[in-house]
Amino acid sequence: MSRSSSSPSRVPVEERLFSLVLALLATENGLTKSEILSTVQGYRQRYAPHGDNSSLERQFERDKDDIRELGVPLETVESPEAAGNNQLLRYRIPKGAYDLPQDVVFSPAEITLLGLAAAVWREGSLSGESRRALMKLRSLGVEADDPVVGYAPRLRVRESAFDPLSQALERHALVQFPYLKPGESASRLRTVAPLALVQHQGRWHLQGIDQEAGESRTFLLSRIVGPVKVTARTFEPEGDDFAAKALAELERIWEANVAEIEVTAGTDAATRLRKRYGDAVPADAGAGSFRLTVNFSDLNILADQLAAFGPEVLVLSPPALRENVLQRLLATARAHEGDGPDHEREAAHG
């Protein structure tokens, strides 16, 4: 048998955590570690019934910490017959503790959107993986709540680089990928020791050690312009809390970078930017326009967004952002109408 056909398929980390939460929600009395490792999607593929599962147990310990950090109320319950025996501890998520507070209500429009989201996530009945897990749980004498188990992730909203980078993080493996920096015409191959994947202001970032520079760098996943290669080279991370540190640094950059823009009232830009930065809207700056104060962590991304509104937005500061938006508008004017001075003045006014 070939290696590819005998090796267990790798399950994405978010799918494993999702399956773990579902399994623990579906059982009133909870599950032992052995039951979890042998039945839950993401663990059972690598579980050895009579072999060494120490690495899988360590994975489970990390996953417990992760779901608790997400606010999931994971409990441990000792066996009355064997107090102190960790192998017989049962893990559960009390449904009452995980329900929405009674004072949280939704409008009809919000309920409709939640229903649409649920339709995206729900398969027609039980997913294949959920069906097999449910059968295995019942074979162990564990009663499960069918409707809870009958949900499976169906929506992907991340860049294609996320999954291989997530796998490399689990294995502590070096990765290689082509990365295109703003202002450069060609990508450059980067070799990175990945330390954390974090989402900040709606965008995914990789924090890791750039092997060429020998220093920590943060990479925007949307700028990875080709396949991510997970190499056979591994490394031992030095330190901890990489995700928290990466988020703190991105937040520091975001707070330190402030732009002031003037927006024409009654335009598409006014509608969209008010929704995004509404809390920062001061008094009207003049007839038919208003000013917004905008924080940003990436000047080029903000320049792309503002240039897309054309003459509806005028950048007041900082000068670097104003220049970047102007260059984008001039390039658009040249591409569509030529290089005449009248057209450049019209683009510059925007």
pTM above 0.75, yes or no: no
* Phi (first) and psi of residue 294, to 5 degrees: -125, 125
Residues 175 and 231: beta-carbon distance below 8 Å: yes
pLDDT-derived band at 115 (thresholds 50, 70, 90) equals low
- The encoded tokens of residue 41 equal 């999607």
Q: Locate tokens 């109320």: which residue?
A: 73
In this model, does residue 129 exceed pLDDT 70? no
pLDDT score for 183: 76
The residue count for the chain = 350
Over residues 230-256, the pLDDT tens digits come to: 999 999 988 888 888 899 999 999 999
* Phi (first) and psi of residue 142, to 5 degrees: -100, 125
In this model, does residue 156 exceed pLDDT 50? no
In this model, does residue 71 exceed pLDDT 70? yes
pLDDT score for 92: 87
Over residues 2-28, the pLDDT tens digits come to: 444 445 556 777 778 888 888 888 777
pLDDT-derived band at 113 (thresholds 50, 70, 90) equals low
- The encoded tokens of residue 100 equal 């929405």
In this model, does residue 51 exceed pLDDT 50? yes
pLDDT score for 269: 86
Least trusted range by pLDDT, from 14-18, 117-121, 248-252, 308-312: 117-121
pLDDT score for 49: 83
Least trusted range by pLDDT, from 38-52, 126-140, 237-251: 126-140
Q: At what angle do helices 54-69 and 13-25 cross, to 10 degrees?
A: 80
pLDDT-derived band at 324 (thresholds 50, 70, 90) equals very high
Q: Among candidates 98, 96, 37, 87, which has minimal Cα distance to 63?
A: 37
In this model, does residue 337 exceed pLDDT 60? yes
Helices (H), 99-152: 108-121, 128-139, 146-149
Q: Among candidates 90, 97, 99, which has minimal Cα distance to 30?
A: 90
- Distances in Å between the Cα of 219 and the Cα atoms of 174, 175, 179, 199 are 14, 12, 8, 12
- The encoded tokens of residue 4 equal 């590819």
Query: Which residue segments constitute the domains of the chain, with CATH numbers given?
Result: 3-149 (no CATH), 162-244 (2.30.30), 257-349 (no CATH)
Q: Among candidates 348, 305, 302, 301, which has minimal Cα distance to 329?
A: 348
In this model, does residue 150 exceed pLDDT 50? no
pLDDT-derived band at 178 (thresholds 50, 70, 90) equals very high
